[in-house]
Amino acid sequence: MHVLQELEPKKVFEFFEEISQIPHGSGNTAQIAAYCMDFAKQRGLRAVHDAGGNVIIYASGTEGYENSEPVIIQGHMDMVCEKTPDCRKNMETEGIDLATDGKYVWAEGTTLGGDDGIALAYIFALLDSDDIPHPPIEALITRDEETGMYGAMDFDPSVVSGTKILNIDSEEEGILTVSCAGGITAHCVFELPTQLYSPTYEYEISVTGLLGGHSGADIGKGRLNAFEMLSKPLEYIVDCYFGTISGGGKMNVIPQNASIIIGSDEDKLDELEQIINLCNDRNYGGETDSGLQFSVKKINTEGEVKYIENKCYLQYIKDFLKFFPTGVQSMSESIDGMVETSLNMGVLEHNGTILSCDFLIRSNTENGKASVIEVVRKFTESIGNKIDFVKMTLSGDYPSWECRQDSSLRELMVEVFEEQYGRKPEVSGIHAGLECGVFAKKIQNADIVSIGPDIADIHTPNERLDVASAGRVWEYVKEILRRSK
């Protein structure tokens, strides 16, 4: 029984349904890759399953397009597997249960995998057809985008000859994405050479109720960093020892909560409560983060927490929390309203004599990334030059996709969009990573645009694909190819 058989465009939803019956979560893509290879074989198309686990299917140009420049159509074969708490499905071994009301397509109890199954459905519908005019096609279907763009990272660009890349992995119809952020992690460690100490009284000071959010997509919304807020009460605290700091926990999430354990030889509860009240009265959260709450409570850790004895090091911790760089560093000049460069300190650990933290740096330009690495380095040194041991290491570098000044693909796509929709598309960038960044770096002179139909609530069991939107984007893709002579 085919659930989507009444939906248009028929071929697109037929392939979408076939794909949905193959389990294809990230890390579990052998079967879907085999399906892609088999699809090509059955139609006499050349295909490669490369060392990175990607599948590339080649199709010649149709009549009159034999010598046209090839177009790369790209999507990823893996999906995010999430399900509702009561869903019993084993997404490792079973297909998903599709449903539709004619307006949307979703899966019962699980993610739909519209991200990025729709790209594969378009590719298969195109390559299966004999009545869609198109230039030579290099369909590039990547492995494990969702968990780290592993397929794209391992992709050998010599297997393709095209430079025009149509990436179908965006979720909002009417937006042409032409830039994405690259990123890098800076891991900083400070060693405080001091004795450990056991105070008589112990308290926990907490910051809670911040909105947090994604360190790329939400960084431009003025959201506060919980570690920075932790510095507010500490400014007024004297004659105490600082112990464990905890909170946040993910580099790519703006920390919502943070706490520090402090110790003292005298009972300080009244004094600390006054400081906390003062901080709450100051309304640091403003309208954006109105949920911000400072609190203090007496605790007893029975010696589990390590405190620093040397009081001059306490000032370094205060300075660190007060002055560490975080948030938006610059806005884009070429794309209106887009954050170009940012950093997020999402992880901070202070335990005994070691203070360590991770900054996730993002930028839509390589220069922006390099300049923020310097900001973090300078900051680390300014704190570190009073301390014997400090170290900053960089890892997880991935490239940005810079907005091209001249893009013939973008021009064509804007033109076709205006004709088909009767309005201008939004030409935009995102301050987060996309595989396009990797291809922009690997494929010389790559001219890339990312699009896709409306898909709501991706990566959640509420994910749903808008049927009419999928139809309009299909017409759009076909027209772009027809005009790529």
Q: Identify which range of 45-53, 112-120, 411-419, 449-457 contacts Zn ion by CB under 5 A.
A: 112-120
User: 């519908």: which residue's tokens?
Assistant: 125
Q: How far is the CB of 119 from Zn ion (least distance, A)?
A: 8
Q: How far is the CB of 68 from Zn ion (least distance, A)?
A: 28
Structure tokens at 286: 């403003």
Q: How far is the CB of 27 from Zn ion (least distance, A)?
A: 15
Closest to Zn ion by CB, 166 vs 416, is: 166
Q: 246: buried, middle or exposed (CB in 10 Å: 19+, 13-18, 0-12)?
A: middle
439 and 83 Cβ atoms separated by less than 8 Å: no
* Separation between Cα atoms, residue 119 and residue 110, nearest integer Å: 19
Q: How far is the CB of 445 from Zn ion (least distance, A)?
A: 25
Q: Identify which range of 56-64, 161-169, 183-191, 399-407 contacts Zn ion by CB under 5 A.
A: 161-169
**Which element (helix H / strand E) includes 390?**
strand 389-398
Closest to Zn ion by CB, 463 vs 479, is: 463
Q: How far is the CB of 176 from Zn ion (least distance, A)?
A: 16
* Separation between Cα atoms, residue 50 and residue 266, nearest integer Å: 67
Q: Using CB under 5 A, which residues numbered 205 to 224 contact Zn ion? A: none
For Cα atoms 338, 344, 346, give the angle at the middle one, nearest 5 degrees: 145
Closest to Zn ion by CB, 79 vs 296, is: 79
Structure tokens at 420: 């088909």
Fill in the per-residue mask, 41 to 80: x = in contact with Zn ion (CB under 5 A), - = not in contact: ----------------------------------------
Q: How far is the CB of 233 from Zn ion (least distance, A)?
A: 41
Crossing angle (nearest 10°) for helices 269-281 and 226-234:
130
Q: How far is the CB of 358 from Zn ion (least distance, A)?
A: 25
Structure tokens at 363: 């930028």
368 and 340 Cβ atoms separated by less than 8 Å: yes
Closest to Zn ion by CB, 292 vs 436, is: 436
Quote the longest CA-to-CA distance of the chain: 88
Q: How far is the CB of 76 from Zn ion (least distance, A)?
A: 6
Q: Give the three-class secondary structure for 55.
A: strand
Q: Identify which range of 88-96, 110-118, 207-215, 233-241 contacts Zn ion by CB under 5 A.
A: 110-118
Closest to Zn ion by CB, 168 vs 207, is: 168
Fill in the per-residue mask, 267 to 286: x = in contact with Zn ion (CB under 5 A), - = not in contact: --------------------
Closest to Zn ion by CB, 167 vs 329, is: 167
Fill in the per-residue mask, 114 to 153: x = in contact with Zn ion (CB under 5 A), - = not in contact: -xx-------------------------------------
Structure tokens at 462: 């509420």
User: 């449903």: which residue's tokens?
Assistant: 99
Closest to Zn ion by CB, 251 vs 434, is: 434
Closest to Zn ion by CB, 14 vs 115, is: 115
Determine the size of the site formed for Zn ion (CB under 5 A).
Answer: 3
Q: Per this entry, what is the length of the chain?
A: 485
Closest to Zn ion by CB, 162 vs 433, is: 433
**Which element (helix H / strand E) includes 393?**
strand 389-398
Structure tokens at 54: 């990607």
Closest to Zn ion by CB, 170 vs 342, is: 170
Chain-centroid distance, C-alpha 425 = 23
Q: How far is the CB of 75 from Zn ion (least distance, A)?
A: 8
Strand partners, 351: 354
Strand 201-208 and strand 182-191: the pairing is unpaired
Q: How far is the CB of 115 from Zn ion (least distance, A)?
A: 4
Q: Using CB under 5 A, which residues numbered 163 to 182 contact Zn ion? A: 169
* Separation between Cα atoms, residue 387 and residue 190, nearest integer Å: 8
What is the contact surface with Zn ion in residues (CB under 5 A)? 115-116, 169
